[in-house]
Amino acid sequence: MDIEQKVAGFTPEGDAVVVYTMRNSKGYEVELCNVGAAIVAVRVPDKEGRVGDVALGYENRMEYLTEGACMGKVPGRYANRIAKGHFVLDDKEYRLAINNSPNALHGGPKGFHMCLWEGRVEENRVVFAIDSPDGDEGYPSDLYVEAVYDWDDDNRLELTLLAQTNGATIINLTNHAYFNLAGAGSGDIKAHTLRLNASRYLPTDQTLIPTGALAEVEGTPMDFRTPKALGKDLEADFPALIYGKGYDNCWAIDDYKEGEIREAALLSDTASGRTLRVLTDQPGVQVYTGNWLSGIPMGKGGVRYEDYSGVAIECQNFPDAPNKPHFPNAILRKGERYERHIVFEFGIDK
């Protein structure tokens, strides 16, 4: 494994924005950035052997400091939404910034995705670390987080998310990369087919906060148990799709068992032949079809991204779990170790 580091620029405070390029023995690459511990490029072959970048990103790396799409980043402390920016932990009420009215989203306006992480190379991996002090964006207790990236010769990118705290807090970490297997900037992802290992999804209210129920996907546009084009039901007259202007929902992964890694999703593009298999030990997978990408900063190659230019497959805990006691546990306490895994396997459908 060859890992190169390059300074892309500096923050207003004078800190370096660093891009790490991981190159496997076959020459295929992943680029990472210390802003938000982000995936900024993934260069893999199509069925004809042509190499293309399948991860959306920005032409100017400095845009990662101010952009609002959470492009390729690790949001936190709590990815996804918390209802009305409010939760109670150990009988104490906490209030968070409302940055997705009327809710809190992705840890707040200055969440982990907007922060400069400390990056380092450890043998054949890249490790990003961040210290979040007590009270950061309203969250309690000090929290130390690492995002560890491994890239192998089989074009398998594994993200290990680690955290420890000195008290009690809530946590939900994921990665928010947008993928287009035909190539970033090549158009929309409506013809991509998706299969989900999920027979239930989380219905939401109009603000995309889960109601608390887990509903069967059968007979609804939420059914991806067999491969289906993302565009097939994108404009269906169905509450989830109306509320989000497309898919922006969480599915409960079938047969979830804590600590066990299993397949969550399989994304495919017939034209290029590329596939993306996503595995995780998280209980849920949020699928977001890039419904509001229009107007974000210039994409790579000088291309303007439009709505539906990429799809994010975010393995995570359930949204608003701190306010839903029957959802999987979102509390981390002193002496406990938070460890979650997300694996992106890039392949060719032969």
> How many whole angstroms separate alpha carbon 93 and alpha carbon 210?
20
Please tell me which residue in 29, 106, 146, 176 is annotated as part of the active site: 176
326 is a catalytic site residue = no
335 token code pair: 């002496």
299 token code pair: 């994409």
> How many whole angstroms separate alpha carbon 135 and alpha carbon 25?
44
Phi, psi of 64 (to 5 degrees): -65, -20
176 is a catalytic site residue = yes
Q: Is 264:309 a contact under the CB 8 Å cutoff? A: no
For residue 250, how many C-alpha atoms fall within 13 Å in the half-sphere facing its CB?
Answer: 27
Helix intervals (H) in the chain: 239-244
CA 216 to the chain's CA centroid: 24
> How many whole angstroms separate alpha carbon 227 and alpha carbon 229?
7
Please tell me which residue in 31, 137, 146, 314 is annotated as part of the active site: 314
Phi, psi of 331 (to 5 degrees): -95, 135
Closest CA to 161 of 152, 169, 150, 151: 150
Q: Is 334:166 a contact under the CB 8 Å cutoff? A: yes
> How many whole angstroms separate alpha carbon 173 and alpha carbon 127?
15
Q: Is 147:119 a contact under the CB 8 Å cutoff? A: no
Amino acid symbol at 76: G
Beta bridge partners of 344: 157, 278
226 token code pair: 């067999």
> How many whole angstroms separate alpha carbon 296 and alpha carbon 176?
15
> How many whole angstroms separate alpha carbon 230 and alpha carbon 249?
13
- Write out the catalytic residue numbers: 176, 314
